[in-house]
Amino acid sequence: MTARFQGAIHVMALYDVCDEINLEELRRLIGAKASTASFKHTTPEYVRFERAPVIEPLGPVSLETGEQFTGTLQYYDYGVVSVLLRLSCSSEWAEMQQLAGRWISSNIFDELTQRLVRQRLVQVGAALRKPYPNWLSEDYYIFHLDPVAGLDADELLKRHSDGISHIVSGEALQLAVSEQTEVLHARMSYYPNDLVVVSWNAAFVYDTESGAESTIRLLEYANSQLLQFRHYDESLTRELADVYHFLGGRRRLLAGWRMRRAAARLRSVLLEVTSLTERTTNALKFVGDMFSARLYKMCATEIGVSEYQALVQEKLKTADDLYGFMVEQFHQARGFLLEATVVIILLIELVYLFRGK
């Protein structure tokens, strides 16, 4: 008889909806609570959100196929709203693999989660600063199994490495051994009987419910960061394109004099994005909890946060260099104008001088 595992499947959908959410106003509007970071071992004074996101419970949420989820909405102050749906399950490996392959490769949750968020934002619009007409989004899947007596992390990998790699990759077909190895390289354990395997679009968690909760929160936070850095990357790309277009079209005399306004705009964007990226990066503090810090670093690397963060930093540096160049061009244009003015004044004086003679 094939063993059945108890656990839950978590579906995460995140949306970048505005520049900022006023969490105090939001709490007043919906009567929700701020979340508390619950981590694997007790370090509450060290591991914490700078501005704890606000959690709002959802009622039962059902798919057309009949699965019924419980869920929450989580609001981050930097403008991200996350929908977290949870489905308790008792399944065999083959059933979980089939479900992972069907859900990860489809958009079955897109319309449902977007509708949930849009309905709620109508009610809490007063707490949103500069809402966006179009949203960036991220989705993520977490497959959690409760520990089984006599089956530690090493034994689990020996017996089910093939199944775990299928689940986190969302593939229904047999994977090559080399690909299984690649998928399973991003894994960590804190105790002998727990395991986390992270991929770019899904994760497998073998842990107690309380232990899994901390991992789920870290994955949710990492995805919210990815969403923000994607937003900053797109904003900087548009701004840099406008600057390059402006610089490419400056053919007229004294065009450098117009650099001041363009440079001021670029500087304001540069400062705004720098401030927002620092706030996003520092939203969650890890001091004294090295396991959570290492787990988050692994999650951020696999999901793509580190890559987008590097892109944003590179574009911020480019923007800073362009700002310096534009300011220099402005000063040169101003110097040229001053010199031209002096020459004109001298010519006028010479004209009057010769007329006097």
Whether the pLDDT of residue 352 is over 80: the answer is no
Residue 194 lies in a domain: yes
Do 50 and 137 lie in a common domain? yes
Whether the pLDDT of residue 281 is over 70: the answer is no
pTM of the model: 0.81
- Placement of tokens 């869920």 in the chain: 71
Residue 92 carries which side chain, given as an amino acid letter? E
For 263, list phi and psi in degrees, rounded to 5.
-65, -40
- Find the range with the poorest average confidence among 45-49, 232-236, 304-308: 45-49
Residue 214 lies in a domain: no
Element (H, E) at 218: helix 209-248
Mean of per-residue pLDDT scores for the chain: 81
Residue 216 lies in a domain: no
Do 139 and 238 lie in a common domain? no
Comparing C-alpha atoms, which of 7, 102, 91, 90 is closest to residue 63?
102
Do 229 and 95 lie in a common domain? no
What is the span of the domain harbouring residue 160?
A: 5-208
DSSP string, 193-208: T-EEEE-SSEEEEES-
Show Cβ contacts of residue 346 under 8 Å, excluding neighbours closer than 6 positions: none
Do 182 and 331 lie in a common domain? no
Strands 128-145 and 202-206: parallel
Highest mean pLDDT among 26-40, 50-64, 234-248: 50-64
Do 204 and 254 lie in a common domain? no
Confidence of residue 343 (pLDDT cuts 50, 70, 90): confident
Kindly report, residue by residue over 51-107, the tens digit of the pLDDT: 788 999 988 888 887 888 999 999 999 899 999 999 998 877 778 888 888 888 778
**What pLDDT, on the 0 to 100 scale, is given for residue 42?**
47
Residue 213 lies in a domain: no
**What pLDDT, on the 0 to 100 scale, is given for residue 287?**
56
Do 187 and 298 lie in a common domain? no
Whether the pLDDT of residue 256 is over 60: the answer is no
Do 152 and 295 lie in a common domain? no
Do 246 and 287 lie in a common domain? yes
Q: Which of 177, 208, 239 is the last residue of a domain?
A: 208
- Three-class secondary structure of residue 347 per DSSP: helix
Domain count of the chain? 2
Show Cβ contacts of residue 328 under 8 Å, excluding neighbours closer than 6 positions: none
Element (H, E) at 126: none
Q: Which residues of 167-204 are buried (b: 16+ CB within 10 A; e: fewer)?
A: bbbbbeeeeeeeebeebbebbbbbeebbbbbbbebbbb
Torsion of CA 18, 19, 24, 27, to 10 degrees: 10
Confidence of residue 13 (pLDDT cuts 50, 70, 90): very high
Residue 132 carries which side chain, given as an amino acid letter? Y
CA geometry: angle at 294 spanning 290 and 295, to 5°? Answer: 115
CA distance 123 to 127: 9
CB 86 within 8 A of CB 109: no
Highest mean pLDDT among 274-278, 293-297, 328-332: 293-297
CA distance 34 to 26: 10
Whether the pLDDT of residue 38 is over 70: the answer is no
Do 128 and 161 lie in a common domain? yes
CB 35 within 8 A of CB 125: no
Do 108 and 160 lie in a common domain? yes
Residue 57 DSSP label: E
Residue 174 lies in a domain: yes
CB 219 within 8 A of CB 142: yes
Residue 163 carries which side chain, given as an amino acid letter? G
Question: Can you read off the two tokens belonging to residue 332?
Answer: 């040169």
Comparing C-alpha atoms, which of 96, 110, 103 is closest to residue 143?
96
Whether the pLDDT of residue 5 is over 60: the answer is yes
Residue 127 buriedness (CB in 10 A; 0-12 / 13-18 / 19+): buried
Q: How far is CA 223 from CA 42, 43, 229, in A?
A: 24, 23, 10
